[in-house]
């Protein structure tokens, strides 16, 4: 699983997963809610690597281990079913870190989880708007 950080339509950045074709990405793993999007230079893609590489290159190994333990303690199924969710949470944890190789507090991990969920909800809503737009233009 190769990860990218790309610009989003709202002027921010988001973490996405590169599809097997190498030219498109998923920003939501639910294929019923989203379709792959072309990786375009205008999105200013920044390669993050896979989860292990991303954590090693960004001093997130202790944060990754703490987040995994935090999610396991709570029986959060997304740990095993949604790797993009885990990476997003780590990406948000990194935005709050004051240095490398830190273990985030439970409050920071909970905040990062909430931010990950919020970002995913916004992405799903965006895909729904695009789907409605495409359906309307096909009818016209």
DSSP the chain: --EEEEE-TTSSEEEEEE-TTSSEEESSS-TTT---EE--GGG--EEEESHHHHHHHTT-HHHHHHHHHHHHHTT-THHHH-HHHHHHHHHHHHHH-SSTTPPPPHHHHHHHHHHHHHHHHHHHHHHHHHHHHHHHHHH-
**pLDDT score at 34:** 66
Q: What is the pLDDT along the chain (140 residues), one digit of tens a residue?
A: 899 999 987 778 989 989 999 999 888 777 666 678 899 999 999 999 999 999 999 999 999 999 999 999 999 998 888 888 999 999 999 999 888 889 999 999 999 999 998 888 887 777 677 677 777 777 76
**pLDDT score at 131:** 72
Per the structure, the complete domain to which residue 88 belongs is given by 3-139
Please give the tally of structural domains in the chain: 1
**pLDDT score at 1:** 82
């Amino acid at each position: 699983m190769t990860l990218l950080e790309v610009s989003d339509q709202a002027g921010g950045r988001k973490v996405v997963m590169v599809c097997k074709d190498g030219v498109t990405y998923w920003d939501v793993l639910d294929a019923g809610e989203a379709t792959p999007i072309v990786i375009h230079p205008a999105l200013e893609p920044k390669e993050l690597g896979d989860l292990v590489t991303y954590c090693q290159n960004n001093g997130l190994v202790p944060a990754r281990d703490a987040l995994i333990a935090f999610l396991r303690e709570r029986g959060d199924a997304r740990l095993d079913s949604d790797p993009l969710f885990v990476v997003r949470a780590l990406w948000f944890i990194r935005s709050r870190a004051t240095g490398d190789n830190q273990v985030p507090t439970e409050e920071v991990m909970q905040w990062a989880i909430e931010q990950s969920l919020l970002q995913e909800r916004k992405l799903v809503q965006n895909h729904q708007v695009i789907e409605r737009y495409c359906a309307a233009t096909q009818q016209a």
